[in-house]
Amino acid sequence: MFYWIAALLIGALALMQLCVGAWVWLGAILLWIAGGFWLAGIGALAAILLLLLLVVPALIVALKPLRYRLLSGPILQMFQRILPRMSQTERDAIEAGTTWWDAELFSGKPAWDKLLQLAPPKLTAEEQDFLDHEVEQLCGLVTDWESTEIWQDLSPQAWQFVKDKGFLGMIIPKQYGGKEFSAYMHSQVIMKLSSHCSAAAISVMVPNSLGPAELLLHYGTEVQKDYFLPRLAAGEEIPCFALTSPYAGSDAAAIPDVGVVCMGQYDGQDMLGFRLTWDKRYITLGPVATVLGLAFRVQDPDRLLSAGDSQAETDLGITCALIPTNHPGVVTGRRHWPLNAVFQNGPTSGQDVFIPLDWVIGGREQIGKGWRMLMECLAAGRAISLPSSTVGFSKLAVRGTSAYAAMRHQFRIPIGKFEGIHEMLARMGGNLYLMDAVRRLSALAVDAGEKPSVISAISKYHVTERGRILVNAGMDVLGGKGICMGPNNFLARSYQQMPIAITVEGANILTRCLIIFGQGAIRCHPYVLKEMAAAGEADQQKALADFDEAFFGHISFVFANFSRTLVAGLSGGSFPAAPSAAPAELRHFYRAVNRMSAAFALLSDQSMFVFGGSLKFRERISGRLGDILSQLYLISSVLKRYEDDGRPQEDLPYVHWAIQDALHQAQEAYLGVLDNFPNRLLAVLLRVITFPFGRPYHKPSDALDSAVAKAMQTNGASRDRLVSDIHMPSAEQSPQAFGELAFQLIPQVNAIEARLKPALKAGTLAPMPQSLIALHGWATAAAASGAITQEEMQVLQDFARYGDISVQVDDFPQDFNRLESVQARSQHQP
């Protein structure tokens, strides 16, 4: 009897995972009942009861006519009644873009080979040359301090260089005079510029993100492309795009700006167009733009576009147009001042401004389709812009802070050896490794032709949030040096301006609570969107057939993930197996992602079942569900990066820290959902199924923190990879260079000190002083006594000089003004 019951449980779990059809289930049930009757001796009455309880339902499911009549039909009718009404803007947002690896993570059984077989992102020879020359030259023309304190913008020379060298046309095809660079190259450029000057990065980033070049490329008419794209590529036009209104920020679909269809006059001719009224703010490049991309809602009260059809709609929806900023009635407002960042940003407005119909991007056919256009273009831009800029200044923060911690002595030892500093450095190094991995993988998706709406939201939210953690940790390490503004401070601007990255391109609270899971649950789920489409189908026969297929596929999907989650939980995560291509040292992480993927898919289905349409209003629940999906994507990015880098063993501390941290966060988000589940019985059941032996995933240990901190302070290939591809200023350009110069000498300084240890211990040589100024004189005296060579003296004196400059902070006269900030730079030159 025991074996017969065990066969039932094992067989059912196996069939669930295989997602077999109803006829296979029916055959297996009959075989099991027969085995019980003939081998286990269950008796005829028990066999008959089992036939009634199991075979009859299985037969109903297996026979389509019965299933349609008794199951699918009634369920479809109920589904149509309870399905919440979806607005057109919600539908556009959900349907915009494409799914990619996010759908695999939602499947409960990610196909790792698809991810691992993708070629690593790579630059062409032309792209690398541009990065090594033009981008470096631009960095040589600007600094954060000068752009902020002197120019309050890029200098005129830098602006002209940006225009002349094609920075504004990086994504524009060569046939229009652009560079036609890849998304990965776009990301590399923004990252490098952000590591040196935020104003330069943002001024280049915006024209290559939303637009309007991106909109023109995908939706513009040939006439619009032929006119605008060459001018944008050559820098003859400076673009901006105006979406946000004072009363429609995160809810951008509710913009109050209106264009009323009417007859008007333009260029001496009567024509059909719009009488536009708008009031926009936070528009990057708005104060200097020559062409304004504008999103507004079209109203056609006289039905002029429908030839007077009385049945036609009068509210036609959001539309995008291009308007020259010198067009009569266009008002370019005064500048905003976002947290002392000096990229050009400000309001624009207009009152009853007439524009021709053919200024709509894409022409008449695209009227009312602007929201869909924006959602698809934002999907690509959001995956590149903010993640790249955040990684750029985060690499600067890690490079400068790790060098400072290794060089700065207190209590006669480098502060980077204190465990409290280890904790901060580990947050910085582990998070940066992960952030850069996400940046690279998301750019790879865009280059593969995807418009990854969910992935772009994950990238924007989690890279900027971890960037905030990283910068705050860096400020804790730097202490007094970090809080004094000046050209010597490499962290202050990032610390000051971090909330900008958190806020723009979809505020992070909105992105987490509404977008990631709100879109992901429908777009990435293999059946929900199909069920919704079937419920809205006008042809009832087709609706029933489509719904039946989707609904029973969904049921099979739930059972499969229940089985995978239970097996993984009971096996302690040993099943399912890791992909054969996975390195042995990381296979347990692949298994962990598989386990959490199945558990997440199961929890998502149960949450949608329990909350129904109200789930979109339960933002903390949907936010936690989004966190699980996000952390699985972050881990996937780390695993992919490790493969792409050739599995360097010295990078394993970063890999382990990043994945352990993300797994722990995914686990806590999962349990956070269950803790707030209204159905307590189901919550307890899901907890037992998923984590039968308690919490399996823990935060990185103290020992791992120390391993990461040590790797960050060790000069070599691993640290170089961590902070690669950023601008390294010369000593002539920035005093920030001296920290890295001192750091590079630390191995030689340590070798000299190790050689002198016997003399220091015997007292025949005075100990090396902690003060770097005193070290300079000590080295002179030690060389004179013959204790060290002239070459060693030079190393110590260079280290003392570079280190002294790097630990200093800037000071200014009482009557300080911006002009004197240039002179202040010279105070700390060697």
Separation in Å, CA 160 to CA 180, 224, 585: 20, 25, 51
Catalytic residue among 505, 643, 740, 792: 505
Assess whether pLDDT exceeds 60 at residue 2.
yes
Nearest C-alpha neighbor of 33 from the set 10, 59, 61, 5: 5
pLDDT score recorded for residue 451: 87
pLDDT in tens, 595-618: 999 999 999 999 999 998 788 789
pLDDT score of 818 more than 70: no
Residue 551 has a pLDDT of 95
Average pLDDT over residues 339-345: 92
Quote the pLDDT of residue 826.
41
Give the chain's length.
830
pLDDT tens for 361-396 read 999 999 999 988 888 777 777 889 999 999 999 999
Distances (CA, A) of 75 to 410, 436, 530: 71, 46, 15
Q: Do the beta carbons of residue 138 and residue 193 sit within 8 Å?
A: yes
Peptide bond into 499 cis (omega under 30): no
Q: Which two tokens mark 826?
A: 């010279």
CATH fold label, 542-700: Butyryl-CoA Dehydrogenase, subunit A; domain 3 (1.20.140)
Taking a C-beta distance cutoff of 8 angstroms, is the pair 46, 52 a contact? no
**For residues 471 and 448, what is the distance between their CA atoms, to the nearest angstrom?**
32
Cα dist from 267 to 167, 270, 277, whole Å:
33, 9, 20
Amino acid at 303: R
How much is the pLDDT for 820? 53
The answer to whether residues 74 and 551 touch, using CB atoms and an 8 Å cutoff, is: no
Looking at the chain, which residues constitute the CATH 1.20.140 domain(s)?
A: 542-700
Point out the least confidently predicted range of 420-429, 441-450, 526-535. 526-535
Torsion of CA 495, 500, 502, 508, to 10 degrees: 160
Catalytic site residue 505? yes
Distance in angstroms (rounded) separating the CA atoms of residues 431 and 422: 14
* DSSP code for 39: I
How far apart, in whole angstroms, are the C-alpha atoms of residue 431 and residue 435?
Answer: 6
Task: Give CA–CA dist 798/814, Å, rounded.
Answer: 32
Q: Which two tokens stand for residue 102?
A: 């996010």
Q: Dump pLDDT digits (tens) for 646-688.
A: 999 999 999 999 999 999 999 999 999 999 999 999 999 999 9
Residue ranges in 676-725 assigned as alpha helix (H): 680-690, 702-712, 717-722
Q: State percent of the chain over pLDDT 90.
A: 75
pLDDT at 821 over 60: no
pLDDT the model gives residue 201: 96
409 pLDDT above the threshold of 70? yes
Name which of 385, 360, 88 is nearest 219 in CA terms.
360
Q: Whole-angstrom Cα distance, residue 350 to residue 495?
A: 36
Distance of alpha carbon 295 from alpha carbon 278, whole angstroms:
9
Within 10 angstroms of residue 204's Cβ, the number of other Cβ atoms is 23
User: For residue 732, what pLDDT is reported?
Assistant: 84
**Mean pLDDT of the 315-337 span:** 95
Higher pLDDT, 808 or 308: 808
Q: What value does the mean pLDDT of the chain take?
A: 92
Domain(s) of CATH 2.40.110.10: residues in the chain: 239-360
- pLDDT digits 0-9 by tens, 547-565: 999 999 999 999 999 999 9
- pLDDT category at 619 given cuts 50, 70, 90 is very high
Q: Report helix, strand or coil for 274.
A: strand
19: left (phi over 0), alpha (psi -120 to 50) or beta: left
Q: How far apart are alpha carbons 425 and 429 in whole angstroms? A: 6
How many angstroms separate the CA atoms of 550 and 529, rounded? 9
**Position 285 pLDDT exceeds 80:** yes
Its CATH architecture, for the domain 239-360, is Beta Barrel (2.40)
The predicted model scores a pTM of 0.94
Binned at pLDDT 50, 70 and 90, residue 828 comes out as very low
User: Residues 223-260: pLDDT tens digits?
Assistant: 999 999 999 999 999 999 999 999 887 776 788 999 99
Highest mean pLDDT of the ranges 80-89, 142-151, 202-211, 466-475: 466-475
- Greatest pairwise CA separation for the chain in angstroms: 106
Residue range 410-430: mean pLDDT, rounded = 95
Per-residue pLDDT at 819 = 53
- Identify which of 343, 284, 712, 287 has the alpha carbon closest to the alpha carbon of residue 493: 343
Q: What percent of the chain has pLDDT over 70?
A: 97
For 794, residues 6+ apart whose C-beta sits below 8 A from its C-beta are none
Higher confidence at residue 451 or residue 183?
183
Among 161-165, 463-467, 539-543, the minimum mean pLDDT is found in 539-543
